[in-house]
């Protein structure tokens, strides 16, 4: 026997009992309306049996209850239909939504031994707070050595500068000596001219030879002084070139000093923004190299909701539309947010192995488009929303003036009419 038959058995027994009582009542009424027979002896009269009244009132109550239930069901269905037509059909929702944040993974930039890690998981830190500290002894020595080299080079530049000044003075001296030698040459040339113009009887031949020798000597002196002046000027140019070379080397040493100071600064790993420390991976005394993971920093003040809607749901969605968010961790609280932006592509496109439907068999699967929902700042600052929590997102599509990303993507593009 089926379950339905088992369920119907009590009802069928009750109906049979009611019909039996109705028939008994009908028979009693028939007996009362029949003509009276002669009364037998008193000793032979049977004892009258009481007969219950027909359950007409019970049948009426049952019908009223059924009618009431039917009316309530019809009324509830009509209200739900009216609610869906006026409100419900404009809402799209999904439970494929999660709290997200731009988590920063803090890592070491330089190698060294960890001197201290003064943070623990779940600790709230401010921008600039120390997350980990490396032993900075070697880096302080490197900075001091770079600064000493720079000081030595700056002294060299100063020395070359003084030498260049002395060379400039030598140039001025050589120029003055050249002018004096030229004056002597002019005088010697005049003496020789005068001696040659006089008669041999008045000037001795030795005097003429003397003036000729003086003329030649002074001319040679002029040439020597000119060469000395050129050498002095060239020496100045050499010293200036050496100074420029020394200044270039000093610039390199300044860069080395800045790099050593920067490396020293990197011995203290600091928080780049306000957040909460999590996933701490190292302890004091461990050796870390460049890129070694130290901890993660979560900016809870800038959390958001990433909801993955089906592609069939985003037709009427627009940036700026109101959103109602319910987080599974706080089911009794509704968060009023706003649609911020749409992903430029579906989630499968950015996956490690994007699908390629150009080969093999094809099975169409509804794709999901990530939608970013902006949470109010006052709600984010409470720190209750933690990345990874599940949420239910419900978007009201009755408002929003901007065109959806889907509409912009499907807009017709101009077709080139150039002949091939």
pLDDT at 16 over 80: no
Cβ atoms < 10 Å from Cβ of 257: 20
173 or 49, greater pLDDT: 173
Q: What does pLDDT average to over the chain?
A: 80
Residue 23 is predicted with a pLDDT of 62
Check residues 114 and 204 and name the one with the higher pLDDT: 114
Strands (E), 77-194: 91-100, 104-107, 112-116, 124-125, 130-134
Question: For residue 375, what are the contacts with CB-CB under 8 A and spacing of at least 6?
Answer: 303, 304, 305, 325, 335, 337, 385
Place of tokens 């030879």: 209
- CA dist., res. 347 & res. 369, Å (int): 6
How high is the pLDDT of residue 235?
Answer: 85
Interior CA angle at 268 toward 262 and 273, to 5°? 100
Q: Is the pLDDT of residue 206 over 90?
A: no
What is the predicted pLDDT for the residue at 414? 44
pLDDT computed for residue 202 by the predictor: 63
In sequence order, what are the residues at sequence separation of 6 or more whose Cβ sits closer than 8 angstroms to the Cβ of residue 369? 308, 309, 310, 311, 314, 342, 343, 346, 347, 406
Share of the chain above pLDDT 90, in %: 45
**Closest-CA residue to 108 (of 291, 285, 297):** 291
Q: How far is CA 361 from CA 190, 348, 349, 357, 393, in A?
A: 115, 18, 19, 8, 34
CA–CA distance, 395 with 338 (Å, rounded to integer): 9
- Nearest residue to 345 (alpha-carbon basis) of 355, 333, 331, 358: 355
Asked if 326 contacts 333 with a C-beta cutoff of 8 angstroms, the reply is yes
Q: Rounded distance, CA 99 to CA 348, Å?
A: 20
What is the distance between the alpha carbons of residues 373 and 92, in angstroms, rounded to a whole number? 14
Q: What is the mean pLDDT of residues 114-129?
A: 94
What's this model's pTM, rounded to 2 decimal places?
Answer: 0.62
Fold of 137-264: Helix Hairpins (1.10.287)
139: left (phi over 0), alpha (psi -120 to 50) or beta: alpha
The rounded distance, in Å, linking the Cα atoms of 290 and 287 is: 10
Which residue ranges does the chain devote to CATH 2.40.50.100? 104-133+268-296
Residue 110 has pLDDT above 90, yes or no: yes
pLDDT, residue 201, reads 53
35-61 pLDDT tens trace: 444 444 444 445 555 545 556 677 778
Among the residue ranges 152-166, 224-238, 328-342, the one predicted with the least confidence is 224-238
The answer on pLDDT for 32 being more than 80 is no
Predicted confidence (pLDDT) at residue 188 exceeds the cutoff of 70:
yes
* The CATH number, out of the four listed (3.90.480.20, 1.10.20.10, 3.30.70.20, 2.40.50.100), of the domain defined by the range 104-133+268-296: 2.40.50.100
Task: Provide the 3-class DSSP secondary structure of residue 403.
Answer: coil
Query: Where, residue-wise, is CATH 2.40.30.170 in the chain?
Result: 299-409
Give the confidence band of 208 by pLDDT, cuts at 50, 70, 90. Answer: low
* Bridge partners, 372 (sequence order): 306, 341
Read out DSSP for 312-362?
TT-SS--TT-EEEEEETTSTT-EEEEEEEEE-SS-TTTTSSS---TTSS--
Of 1-15, 21-35, 145-159, 284-298, least confident by mean pLDDT is 1-15
The answer to whether 404 and 317 have CB atoms below 8 angstroms apart is yes
Q: Rounded distance, CA 343 to CA 396, Å?
A: 19
Average pLDDT in the 224-233 region? 81
pLDDT of residue 371: 95
Residue 197 has pLDDT above 60, yes or no: yes
CATH of domain 299-409: 2.40.30.170
| Residue 303 confidence (pLDDT) above 90 | yes
Alpha-carbon Rg for the chain in angstroms? 55
What 3-state DSSP class applies to 125? Answer: strand
Which has the closest alpha carbon to 111: 255, 286, 257, 297?
Answer: 286
Point out the least confidently predicted range of 99-108, 332-341, 408-417.
408-417
pLDDT for res 132: 95
Residue 211 CA to residue 217 CA, distance in Å, equals: 10
| Alpha-carbon dihedral sign for residues 361, 366, 369, 374 | negative
| Count of residues in the chain | 420
Nearest Cα residue to 153 out of 240, 241, 243, 250 = 250
Mean pLDDT is lowest, of 220-224, 231-235, 320-324, 374-378, for 220-224
Q: How far apart are the first and last CA of the chain?
A: 79
* Cα distances (angstroms) measured from residue 24 to each of 11, 33, 52, 55: 20, 14, 9, 13
pLDDT digits (tens, 9 = 90+) for 355-408: 877 776 778 889 999 999 999 999 999 989 999 999 999 999 887 644 443 344
CA distance readout (Å), 305 to 253, 276, 297, 367: 50, 18, 18, 19
Summarised one tens digit per residue, pLDDT across range 125-156 is: 999 999 999 999 999 999 999 999 999 999 99
């Amino acid at each position: 026997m089926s379950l339905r038959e088992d369920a119907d058995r009590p009802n069928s027994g009750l109906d049979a009992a009611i019909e039996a009582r109705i028939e008994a009542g009908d028979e009693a009424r028939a007996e009362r309306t029949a003509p009276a027979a002669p009364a037998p002896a008193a000793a032979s009269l049977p004892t009258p049996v009481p007969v219950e009244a027909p359950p007409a009132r019970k049948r009426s109550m049952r019908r009223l209850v059924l009618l009431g239930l039917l009316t309530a069901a019809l009324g509830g269905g009509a209200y739900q239909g009216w609610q869906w037509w006026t409100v419900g059909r404009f809402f799209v929702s999904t439970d494929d939504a999660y709290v997200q944040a731009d988590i920063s993974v803090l890592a070491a930039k330089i190698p060294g031994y960890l001197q201290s890690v003064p943070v623990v998981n779940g600790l709230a830190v401010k921008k600039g707070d120390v997350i980990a500290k490396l032993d900075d002894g070697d880096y302080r020595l490197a900075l001091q050595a770079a600064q000493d080299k720079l000081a030595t080079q700056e002294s060299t530049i100063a020395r070359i500068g003084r030498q260049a000044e002395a060379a400039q003075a030598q140039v001025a001296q050589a120029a003055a000596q050249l002018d004096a030698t030229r004056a002597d040459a002019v005088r010697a040339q005049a003496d020789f001219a005068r001696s040659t113009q006089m008669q041999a009887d008045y000037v001795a031949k030795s005097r003429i030879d003397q003036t000729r020798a003086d003329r030649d000597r002074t001319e040679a002196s002029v040439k020597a002084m000119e060469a000395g002046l050129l050498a002095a000027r060239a020496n100045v140019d050499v010293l200036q070139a050496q100074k420029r070379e020394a200044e270039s080397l000093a610039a390199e040493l300044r860069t080395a000093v800045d790099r050593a100071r920067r490396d020293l600064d990197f011995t203290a790993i600091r928080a780049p923004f306000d957040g909460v420390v999590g996933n701490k991976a190292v302890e004091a005394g461990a050796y870390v190299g460049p890129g070694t993971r130290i901890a993660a920093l979560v900016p809870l003040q800038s959390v958001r909701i990433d909801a993955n809607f089906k592609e069939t749901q985003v037709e009427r969605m627009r940036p700026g539309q109101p959103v109602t968010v319910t987080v599974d961790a706080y089911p009794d609280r509704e968060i009023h947010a706003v649609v911020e932006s749409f992903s430029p592509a579906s989630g499968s496109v950015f996956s490690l192995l994007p699908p390629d439907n150009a080969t093999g068999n094809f099975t169409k699967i509804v794709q999901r488009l990530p939608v970013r929902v902006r949470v109010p700042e006052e709600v984010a600052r409470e720190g209750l929303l933690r990345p990874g929590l599940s949420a239910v997102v419900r978007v009201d599509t009755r408002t929003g003036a901007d065109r959806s990303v889907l509409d912009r993507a499907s807009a017709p593009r101009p077709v080139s009419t150039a002949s091939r």
